[in-house]
Structure 1
Amino acid sequence: MAGHKASGRRRSTAPVEYSRPRAAATAGRRRAQPAPSPVAAAARDVGHKTAIVAAASGMVLTVMLPTTAGATADGPQEAVATSSISAATEARLTFERAGLTSKFDPDTKLKQVMVASGGKAKAIGSEGSLSQPMDELIKTSPFGYRVSPITGYAGELHTGQDYGAPCGTPVAAAAGGTVVEAGFQVGGGGNRIVVDHGNGLETTYNHLSTIDTAVGAAVARGEVLGESGTTGASTGCHLHFEVMVNGKLVDPTGWL
């Protein structure tokens, strides 16, 4: 154009980047990095250990490390940990587990049942808390109403469970306790032993041929008390076994 003098320089078309000057107080200072979370640290350690094991064994190993899915800045992080391991068919995997040991104490269980129930234990909660009074239990006449084999009365309540056994078969305490009765019962039980197990629970052993304990004796679970017989109101050699809860007779089969 007329009147315009060319300068000989070309104008740059690239955008100019604007740089905001730093304040003197923050110049050279780097932003502090947050400390890694426990989950992230654990994931990092697991990852390192997994890589070492895989490299040493040659296994085909796939590991999904813990994540913090759903974590927010304001709320707690929820760790979601899953793992998947695959190995070649010929590979041998060995895992070590910490040794755990436990000892079942039936007398402790029995005490817990009675205390927790307040003396109103039901058969479903007490099953297995008493040990069987003889090595082999052959059920004959069950607990409940029946026709009396002695009197022929049809409405008799049979107050225990009968187990057929030859006379002289050892009879043992169904649980630890104290003998509170040991002698001949005029009411029909014959030679009879009663053991108090505490917390309102008692067991009785009837029609015995011999009594090998005495009132006041402390007996252990499984300790022989006497031998089966046919004394008292009995029609043959057997054991009449009873369970009483707070003085009330209940079906013994729910306790063995």
Structure 2
Amino acid sequence: MTSPSRRTLLGATASLCAISAGCLGDGLGSESDGNGDGNGSPDTDDETGTETDDGSDDSTDSSGNETDDSGETDDASDDTPTELVDHETHAYRYPKRSTSPNVALLQNRDRAQEWLAEREPTPEEVADVVDDTDFETSILVPIEAGAPNPCHELVLESIEIDDSDGEDTLALEAAVQEQESTGEEEEACIAQETTVGRLVRATFEPEPLTRISASVVDRHGQVHGMGMASESASASESASSSHDQTESDS
């Protein structure tokens, strides 16, 4: 058998190296394509798609939540304003001298009964008003002032809701006046210091007011301004007069 020449061996070796290099090149090319697929547009699309989907969902959720919050705000802003739907008054007097006009805010039955007991005797109709009052929707406001004799009375001149200071307040105006009477009744009106009053029941919707103000003209023509407020309509006790400003008519 003839031995291969040196030239033949070198040629075979070169061919084998070329073949090996070609295989390695194909392998590297495949891996490069694979990396390209992994880092190329498919992955980018997935990441972009995911981010877009998340962003869209978050935006929708955020928009939805904001819409709900806006709805809650609208509900809160739709609070029905308080309205004075009815009122009635009843005159009374009791034999006690009063040095200055007075007003009270009665918001529950217990306090109203206490007020009534302190002013015996009082007309039966006044007691009936206290018993029949629904304090869930109404308040009682007694206004009082001194009078020189039983022939005077306290007259309610106006009642309305005043919101000039930004808060709803039941504003009342009253005055001590001499009753119209015949000659025989005038002879019976002897000088006797007494307290004349007017019990006002005010009914509201949807709930009673807890702030009141009163302007009272006494028997001398002086104007007394009073105001009071309670934190809530279910307060256990009536509020006390917060101030009494007296003005003299010029």
Shorter chain as denominator, the TM-score bin is: under 0.3
Scaled by the length of structure 1, the TM-score of the pair is: 0.26
Greater RCO (CA < 8 Å, at least 6 residues apart):
2
Larger radius of gyration: 2
